[in-house]
Structure 1
């Protein structure tokens, strides 16, 4: 695993100043992949909620389709510039990165299409946000472009959707409150998905397929995918906390008093946990040297909940195994959503999520933070999270952490993102129990 990847390590302690090269760009924000399902949702959110005076643009391969999207966004978007760029054309990506202060990428799977744009933004000193939940892509982005981004002052902030804003901000804000209270450091910390209603993204399924294929073919990719510290700056400096499983059934009473039943592994936990552990390391292990983190989901509060918890666990393992075996993959592909598919407007509006992060501190204190929102987590809520992440980088840079490089939502944006999401109706609370 590469080392020396602290966000401040190559920039004299980091800076909240925007790179000089980014101060005279044509647009403040550009949505790359605006003709895709999530790209259209993000563009719509920005058209409705971006403050007056923010210069917005749309980017992608097809000018005609981009103009159709722009025409559907209302009169306020009529003069948004169109930028034609293709993941297979480095020159077009360089031009895109040089034209904007912040680039929003919704073009996945990121392992297939994402790295050229990360390179362009890192070299141009352009801030960047995306939706990735792909650990192998994230790792390669760190290894190739972290130091370049530190040198230019760019903030490359991956995973600014449901992967992994609720997890990362939930723990980050918990840490801040514990520190303010002088209650020690975080130790055993568990995120519980207590409410979840929404569809499965076809893009997420396609990303899973690609990662399974890569891990089957390459031993190093398999080791990276399985390591709990696969996104850490330097795994050799991580504390030895014993085995950390992302696929275990957990008793609620072992997490917090009064939490009943058994809880199943959360299917996004294997990625989210690594993002949170990277944040902890980039912050100098400020969460605590005995910080242990896992994610689970509620399936009922009685002793009988062991049955659905076991079923969920088996189902997750079966899906991965099925996608890794040719004949069963062909069958699964007939029923799983295809890339580009998305939920309808009514389903997006009726979706919701709530996650509770429970922690015990080194002084024995107990805390809980909650992140919750209305809207389909993978689509409606994610569009808000991604759009507000980009707005925070463009407008609230001075209030964000001092950092540059390949970062996480907590280390690259932090509290300004929490405040923006709260203004959009998200719940972000922390309480001592």
Structure 2
């Protein structure tokens, strides 16, 4: 096969991979300007998913194992410009999380890496970053805040994006990501409860016997996730507040029209891959490990607003010198 694909959905039989394939089919079809294929370890399962989604047999199915480096190299070599995608936060991701925790229990160096906000910026260390594991009142947001579950991952990627773009906000840049819980006594109570629950959850996950019970009885299994109704009813909004050293501030709001973990994610993954394949030249991302923000910048922002149900909006006046 000598056809080059814009996108190969690798892991298409998993929960998020299946959603990505469904979005691609419903939005772009099998032969409507986007060349794509489904890939995974099992031809039989790939066929089952393709048929269940109502996709015709003309859509290519590619078989490769993520643990087989030679097979993956052949996949890339044969098909040329390949954009590979896999995963999201579902049963499979929960299993990956538990596997990471188990490995960390045996390797203290990994624990330090997971706790390091600059783990993805080798050769650069910025200033001390805020402790986002506590309850605290945010003066800029005028709200109590507590720990946000995705902050340990997101903060590392923000710092990598900043480093890849040459530190446009300065080498003394500080980034914090937290959940707003509201003002007053009620907001404080919710923030402290959130921080307390986070500590308990982390302690339970760090202890092998309770981790095993959580895996068996509490977490979704690989291939499982929320229903279509739950995904479509979900919404999210993120408020970014930037402050300069001299006290000037700027606020921006990002909103999504679906559940952030799945309904929105499948659209974000697909449109980001197409942006990389079709709108990003070698001069923007010449090679290596890039974050979407560093590689595609405002080109990606425009595409996500036009096609993925996101809005990016400045909510107060721009900074003045």
* TM-score normalised to structure 1 length: 0.67
Residue 288 (structure 2) aligns with: 405
1:100–1:318 CA distance, 2 compared to 1 (3 A): farther
Residue 349 (structure 1) aligns with: 232
- Structure 1 CA distance for aligned equivalents of residues 12 and 312 of structure 2: 29
Query: CA shift at 1:330, angstroms?
Result: 3.0
Tell me the secondary structure at the aligned position of residue 145 of structure 2: strand
Residue 269 (structure 1) aligns with: 151
Asked whether 1:250 is paired with 2:136, we answer yes
1:96–1:399 CA distance, 2 compared to 1 (3 A): closer
Query: CA shift at 1:286, angstroms?
Result: 1.1
Asked whether 1:201 is paired with 2:74, we answer no
- Structure 2 CA distance for aligned equivalents of residues 211 and 72 of structure 1: 32
- Structure 1 CA distance for aligned equivalents of residues 71 and 211 of structure 2: 36
1:36–1:209 CA distance, 2 compared to 1 (3 A): same
Residue 53 (structure 1) aligns with: 33
Following superposition of structure 1 onto structure 2, how do residues 172-183 of structure 1 map, counting pairs within 5 Å?
Answer: none
- Larger RCO of the pair (alpha carbons < 8 Å, separation 6+): 1
1:393–1:87 CA distance, 2 compared to 1 (3 A): same
Following superposition of structure 1 onto structure 2, how do residues 4-403 of structure 1 map, counting pairs within 5 Å?
Answer: 26-50=4-28, 52-74=32-54, 77-98=56-77, 99-107=79-87, 131=88, 201-235=90-124, 238-239=125-126, 241-252=127-138, 254=139, 256=140, 259-333=141-215, 334-398=217-281, 401-403=284-286
1:275-301 deviations in whole A, cap 9, x for unaligned? 101111111111222311010111233
1:201–1:317 CA distance, 2 compared to 1 (3 A): farther
CA contact (8 A) 1:399 1:416 kept: no
Tell me the secondary structure at the aligned position of residue 46 of structure 1: helix
Query: CA shift at 1:100, angstroms?
Result: 4.7
Structure 1: runs of 5 or more not aligned: 1-23, 108-130, 132-199
1:270–1:390 CA distance, 2 compared to 1 (3 A): same
Tell me the secondary structure at the aligned position of residue 309 of structure 1: helix
Tell me the secondary structure at the aligned position of residue 247 of structure 2: coil
Residue 416 (structure 1) aligns with: 299
- Structure 2 CA distance for aligned equivalents of residues 401 and 287 of structure 1: 19
- Structure 2 CA distance for aligned equivalents of residues 289 and 351 of structure 1: 37
- Structure 2 CA distance for aligned equivalents of residues 242 and 66 of structure 1: 47
Residue 310 (structure 2) aligns with: 426
* TM-score normalised to structure 2 length: 0.89
Tell me the secondary structure at the aligned position of residue 59 of structure 1: strand
Tell me the secondary structure at the aligned position of residue 354 of structure 1: strand
- Number of residue-to-residue matches in the alignment: 311
1:72–1:203 CA distance, 2 compared to 1 (3 A): closer
- Structure 1 CA distance for aligned equivalents of residues 247 and 135 of structure 2: 24
CA contact (8 A) 1:264 1:313 kept: yes
- Structure 1 CA distance for aligned equivalents of residues 300 and 57 of structure 2: 28
1:319-344 deviations in whole A, cap 9, x for unaligned? 12111212322332212222321111
1:10-42 deviations in whole A, cap 9, x for unaligned? xxxxxxxxxxxxxx7532211011111111110
CA contact (8 A) 1:41 1:383 kept: yes
